[in-house]
Chain A
Amino acid sequence: MEVEGLNMYYGSFKALSDVSIKIAENKVTALIGPSGCGKSTFIRSLNRMHEIVPGARVEGIVTLDGEDIYTRDVDPVRVRRRVGMVFQKPNPFPTMSIYDNVIAGLKLGRRRKKSELDGVVEKTLKQAALWDEVKNKLNDSGTSLSGGQQQRLCIARTLAMEPEVILMDEPASSLDPVSTQKIEDTMDQLKEDYTVVIVTHNMQQAARISDYTGFFFIEDMGEPGRLWEFDETEKMFSNPERKETEDYVTGRFG
């Protein structure tokens, strides 16, 4: 994916200014920065998820495989199919079984054979590193799982749609360390098949799992957020170019 000169507004408030970034294929890109600097806003612009907020609008170009996802004839639902999203709080459908949660998106599309759906459930739960824990209780409710398991269920649900890009908005911030580690291991696997963009407040998590890191920063209250520095993760955490980045990653910010 490629973003060029992206500005983003909520009504008259400018939330992001002039963001340009190339998101590398089959890599994990982490976005870090203080609260309110526009990270979540930014990833929502990558699959037009912000459009569910009234008054939100973007300027600039966002392309997926060279195709502008904001041209008039592009269906936002189709964009969200290709660019999936996992949210901060695990949000399985509470009335559905584990099995039905995974295929919830597929059920909205064409009819599929049971054997095909079985295959998708097993494959995606394996990719999300959850299969072994739930294979004997697929008909249990999704909410019967622990928080970490629920989050991996949501990852499986996203994978079932066969997206090209997966956006994760602090996917592990409400999880215990063991679950967090499992999610991180999952991400390492996922990048073999997908492009992953993750927003995280956990700097060590960004350092551990990502190939590239973008630092978003807001100079003053009321100013729009900007992509302050973007580079290979190794560089960002050993010798960043800009002082604000260094202050932030070393925890000297604020």
Chain B
Amino acid sequence: MPRETFQQELDGLISDLLQLGGEVKASLENTVRAMEGRDAGAAERELGIDLRFKAQGMEIERECMILQARQAPVARDLRLLYTVQSVTNHLVRSGTLTEHICQAIAETADCERDEDLETALVEMARTARNVFDEGLDVFEDRDIERARDLQAKDDKVDLLYSEAMNLIANASDGGGGDPEWRMRAALIVHYLERISDHGVDIGGSTVFLVTGERIDDAMQQYLNRDMGEA
């Protein structure tokens, strides 16, 4: 097949992207475990990792730009470069949010906590992690069938968001934990919701990569197809 060098460069680019994805995923997993085990030390170990994600992201974007300048990509190659840039952005941002969560956990280690709220946070963290991991899997396997399930899973995250916010706003009598912790909990809830959204968007970018359709249009087609079968 012609353009072997170009193909190798594209393969290298995807491998760099998956490397970054794997590292962000690991950091998010560590964060969820730190939340589950109230492990401030584990959270602290994640601090600073964001800089590495950003450097990797910039390198991938640089590679994309050089390939565009030198190879004049069109059609599926063009869609791939576009998608790689978009997914890179989602990964780097998810990495940053993960670090923000760890910072909040580390800095509130000594605060008194509300048990119901903490349980809700942990459940939300697990669900958001699942959506993120699955978005990454969809991209890695180009499995666009699964991309449409992501939205439903993200709806669960949104539901947990409302529940957690409700607990923060309406603390139980005599409970609720330190105000400092409740404030940081509100931020964590927000960060988790964003991470889950990035996971959904990575799936959506994959739909564009494979079909050339914008995610909303493609989703609509899938949904209509199901209705047609019913």
**A-to-B contact residues, CB < 8 Å:** 203-204, 207, 237-240, 246, 249-254
Contact = CB atoms under 8 A, between A and B. Distances in A.
B222 to A, nearest CB: 17
A239 B79 contact: yes
Given A239-B79, A239-B212, A252 B1 contact: yes
A204 B3 contact: no
B189 to A, nearest CB: 39
A251 B212 contact: no
Most buried by B among A250, A253, A254: A250
Of the listed residues B2, B75, B76, B77, the one surrounded by the most CB atoms of chain A closer than 10 A to its CB is B75
Interface of B: 1-3, 6-7, 72-79, 211-213
B212 A250 contact: no
Contacts of B7: 252
A198 B60 CA distance: 38
B79 A238 contact: yes
Contact of A249 (B6, B75, B212, B213): B75
Contacts of B79: 238-239
Contacts of A246: 75-76
Shortest beta-carbon contacts, A-B, top 10 = A239-B212, A237-B74, A251-B3, A246-B75, A250-B77, A249-B74, A250-B75, A249-B75, A204-B72, A252-B1
Contacts of A240: 75
Contact of B76 (A203, A250, A254): A250
Contact of B3 (A203, A207, A238, A252): A252
B42 to A, nearest CB: 45
A252 B72 CA distance: 13
A51 B191 CA distance: 72
A232 to B, nearest CB: 13
7 contacts: A237-B74, A237-B78, A239-B79, A239-B211, A240-B75, A251-B6, A254-B2
Contacts of B77: 250
Nearest to A236: B75
B212 A238 contact: yes
Name which of B73, B76, B211, B213 has the most chain A CB atoms within 10 A of its CB. B76
Nearest to A245: B75
B212 A252 contact: no
A242 to B, nearest CB: 11
